[in-house]
Structure 1
Amino acid sequence: MSMARKLNVAIVGATGVVGSIMRRLIAEERGNWGEVRLIASARSAGKVLSVGDERIEVQAISPEAFDGIDIAHFDLPDDVSAEWVPVAAAKGVVVIDKSAHYRMDPDVPLVCREANPEAAAVRPKGIIANANCTTLALIPSLAALNAEFGLVSMSVASYQAASGSGKEGLEALYAQIQKLAGADKIGTELGDVRAVLGEDFNTPFGAPLALNVVPKVGGWKEDGWTSEELKVRNESRKILGLPDLKVASTCVRVPVAVGHSQVVHATFEREVTVADAHRVLAAADGVDLVDDPANMVFPMPIDSVGKGGTQIGRVRQSIDFPNSLEFFVVADNLMKGAALNSIETADLVRRELEAA
């Protein structure tokens, strides 16, 4: 491939919440790309959206929409990606897909720049998968700690923002907050929140989220696990190259707009102290060490919004478990958990193709 020209890039699903962040991030590195093409469903065709100072008309998804495109970012539901990703790949497009459909396909690399950037170059189907937002919040710190101490097992409890359910999730949370704020009084009796909100406010979380937490993220799977919990296990194993990693995960939706938080208990092959962990994490790519609890400095989702790094704090050496650490991880689920990781993966591919 001659690199006399700059590569052309498409954002598929350009009108969504993540799509809007993708447009901003591509605008920030606009000089690296030739054409920027915006693609969405037929109902969004004709809309004009901004990419930096440019105004670009959205095209309806079709085989022809991928003509001349080198790299395409897909942010579509699983079933829609399953239909259209092969169409784009058949035209020679390198597809970076954010859906869950291809993540565990052995012929599709699952890439996080901080852990396995080399995997992006091995793509027999022309497809690269972007991991789940919960997994991607964990990986930068886990990759660094694993390289130093050898990760054996981890137990994770997540506190996931409403925006993990997209625009519908954000709008539902805001609507619930507004209705509850307008109520005369919410007492302590069981069911008060349900009584104020009514059944109309159970979607998309299955229960009210405002003034509540919902211990279910994703669909139900065998033996009481959810799809999100299994993603944390299976995707972490694949990205870190640790097929025998022992993982337990419980995923919970909380009334936060943006920013997934996770409590991690991690056990390692070798002894690790807090000072050791701080040294490794402070130097780790994609990790911001935020750990001064005496001065109330620790990661919180409100401080993660718009940031590309993952914030790590509350690092403690386990009292009762040898070679183990406890820590708290926070990341903007729309940034590192989706848009930014896709951008970083595309940059790996772009540099590879430009050097060819």
Structure 2
Amino acid sequence: MSKEKLVVAVVGATGAVGREMLKTLEQRDFPAHEVIALASARSAGMKVPYRGGELTVRELTEDSFAGVDLALFSAGGSTSEKYAPHAAKAGCVVVDNSSAWRMDKRCPLVVPEVNAHDLAWHNGIIANPNCSTIQMVVALKPLHDAARIKRVVVSTYQAVSGTGQKAIEELETQVRQLFNMQQPEPKVYPYQIAFNALPQIDVFMDNGYTKEEMKMVHETVKIMGDPSLKVTATAVRIPVFYGHSESVNIETEKKLTPAEARVVLTQAPGVTVLDNPGEKIYPMALDAAGEDATFVGRIREDETIENGLNMWIVADNIRKGAALNAVQIAETLLERDLLGVKDTTLFQ
């Protein structure tokens, strides 16, 4: 693929993640000859910033992908289910940020620092994992390679931006209402989110877990490529705007000391270790906001089992948890000459 002729579309360009995708393409100087902003009919004609200027948003249709080489989707699962196959049929490679294709056996589910090799077998649609899964596996993979992880127990503390712009606005509104002695009225969430913690992200399933929790379970196993890996999760929404935090406990096959784990993680791509409890140095959501790295700290031995470690993992859910990971996938496709669709009928 000639970079001089590369045409890239961002689907859902007016949303929080779509705008961050455009920003990330610009900041990383992605070599696109042309970038097209696509969104629903009601957003057509809007302007979105890009490279010091503006792009005029075009209406997303089934014919939008003629002449487009690469499309970054962040417009929701139903939109992806409808339009991604049309893009692939047109020979356009899709990197999709929704949950629509993540567990589809025809689609690789990729975090470039972890399983970039899976891009080799894509056939037009590549899935971007769940934000909470991405940051966890970036930290888990080097430890898995060093000592083989058998079991993962994770509790997440997730920012409202993971729900979208309306949730950000709801938190802002509720904080103002409470400071003005007014009773908040929940609309996006089932209960007040300001100064609260909600142990529910997405709907509950028959097994008592939420859909978000089961995403982490299934996606982690698929990305890590180890069906024997056991994962259990509890996902909690907290009143933070940007940055997901996770308390992660792992049990390994081989003994791995906290000092050894710090060395492994310090050398791992995409990871920044902030771990000096004596100086009160540990990752926080404020550290991660706007940053590319996945931050890891509070690395300590789990004294209840023979080979166990606890750690605290934080990343910007809109950045690494969505836009950056998608752009990194696109960069890897270019580097490995993997743009193009071999079978344009697979998703028809």
**What is the TM-score with the length of structure 1 in the denominator?**
0.93
**Are 1:206 and 2:178 an aligned pair?**
no
Q: Show CA shifts across 1:70-109 (max 9, x none).
A: 0100001111111111111110000000110100011100
Shift of 1:323: 0.8
Give distance in 1, aligned partners of 2:213 and 2:326.
22
> Using a 3 Å threshold, how does the CA distance of structure 1 residues 245 and 340 change in structure 2: closer, same or farther?
same
Q: CA deviation at 1:243?
A: 1.2
- On the 8 A contact 2:63/2:86 being kept in 1, the answer is no
Query: Unpaired runs of 5+ in structure 1?
Result: 184-195
Structure-2 separation of matches of 1:179 and 1:120: 48
Structure 2 equivalent of residue 42 of structure 1: 41
CA distance in 1: counterparts of 2:200 and 2:90, whole angstroms: 39
Query: Does the 8 Å CA contact 1:293/1:314 hold for their aligned counterparts?
Result: yes
State how far apart, in whole Å, the 1-side matches of 2:40 and 2:183 are: 33
Mapped to 1, the partners of 2:189 and 2:78 lie a distance apart of 20
Partners in 2 of 1:258 and 1:55 — Cα distance? 25
Aligned to 2:160: 162
In the other structure, the counterpart of 1:285 is: 269
Q: Could you give the per-residue CA deviations for residues 307-345 of structure 1, whole angstroms, max 9, x where no partner exists?
A: 101100000011111111000000000001000000000
Partner residue, 1:59:
58
Q: Is the 8 A contact 2:197 2:239 kept in 1?
A: yes
Residues 255 and 143 of structure 1: CA distance in aligned 2, closer, same or farther (over 3 Å): same
**d(CA) in 2 for partners of 1:166, 1:74:** 15
Deviation at 1:48, TM superposition (A): 1.9
- Residue 111 of structure 1 deviates from its aligned partner by 0.3
Q: Provide the C-alpha distance between the structure 2 equivalents of 1:63 and 1:212, rounded to a whole number of angstroms.
A: 42
SS of aligned partner of 2:49: strand
Q: Secondary structure at the match of 1:141?
A: helix
Alignment partners' CA distance in 2, 1:260 and 1:355:
31
* AA matched with 1:90: K
Pick from 174, 177, 180 the counterpart of residue 179 of structure 1. 177
Using the size of structure 2 for normalisation, the TM-score is: 0.95
Cα distance in 2 between the residues matched to 1:204 and 1:354:
40
Residues 257-284 of structure 1, C-alpha deviations (whole Å, 9 max, x = no match):
1000000010111001011101100100
1:303 maps to what in 2?
287
Give the match for residue 215 of structure 1. Answer: 199
Q: Counterparts in 2 of 1:229-308, with a 5 A limit?
A: 229-308=213-292
Q: Which moved more, 1:145-154 or 1:5-14?
A: 5-14
- Match of residue 186 from structure 1: none
Partner of 1:139: 137
Unaligned runs of 5+ in 2: 341-348
Q: 1:8: which partner in 2?
A: 7
CA contact (8 A) 2:298 2:312 kept: yes
Q: Is the 8 A contact 1:158 1:251 kept in 2?
A: yes
Report the Cα distance in structure 2 between the residues aligned to 1:31 and 1:136, rounded to whole angstroms: 21
Contact kept in structure 1, 2:69 and 2:339, CA below 8 Å: no
- Alpha carbons of structure 1 residues 163 and 283: separation in structure 2 relative to 1, 3 Å: same
Distance in 2, matches of 1:49 and 1:211, equals 33
Native 8 Å contact 1:7 1:350 kept in 2: no
**Number of equivalenced pairs:** 340
CA contact (8 A) 2:200 2:210 kept: yes
| Aligned: 1:336 with 2:334 | no
Following superposition, the deviation at residue 3 of structure 1 comes to 2.5
CA 156–300 in structure 1, closer or farther in 2 if over 3 Å, else same: same
Identity %, equivalent residues: 36
Q: Are the structure 2 counterparts of residues 354 and 35 from structure 1 closer, same or farther at C-alpha, using a change threshold of 3 Å? A: farther
Secondary structure of the corresponding residue to residue 218 of structure 1:
coil
Q: Pick closer, same or farther for the CA change 1:128–1:292 going to 2, 3 Å.
A: same
Q: Distance in 1 between matches of 2:42 and 2:229?
A: 44
Q: Comparing 5-14 with 158-167, which one deviates more in the overlay?
A: 5-14
Instruction: Report the Cα distance in structure 1 between the residues aligned to 2:84 and 2:53, rounded to whole angstroms.
Output: 26
Report which stretch shifted further, 38-47 or 3-12.
3-12
Larger deviation: 53-62 or 4-13?
4-13
Distance 1:309 1:67 in 2: 35
Deviation sequence 1:173-232 (CA, Å, 0-9, x none):
11111101112xxxxxxxxxxxx425x32x212110111100000111112110000011
CA–CA distance in structure 2, aligned partners of residues 161 and 30 of structure 1: 28
The separation in 2 between residues aligned to 1:264 and 1:326, in whole angstroms, is 6
The separation in 1 between residues aligned to 2:231 and 2:30, in whole angstroms, is 42
Measure the CA separation in 1 of the matches of 2:44 and 2:322.
Answer: 23
Quote the offset at 1:303 in angstroms: 1.0
> Would the alpha carbon gap of residues 31 and 117 (structure 1) be closer, same or farther in structure 2, given more than 3 Å must change?
closer
Q: What's the counterpart of residue 114 of structure 2?
A: 115
CA RMSD of aligned residues (A): 1.4
8 Å CA contact retained: 1:6, 1:32? no
SS of corresponding position for 1:222: coil
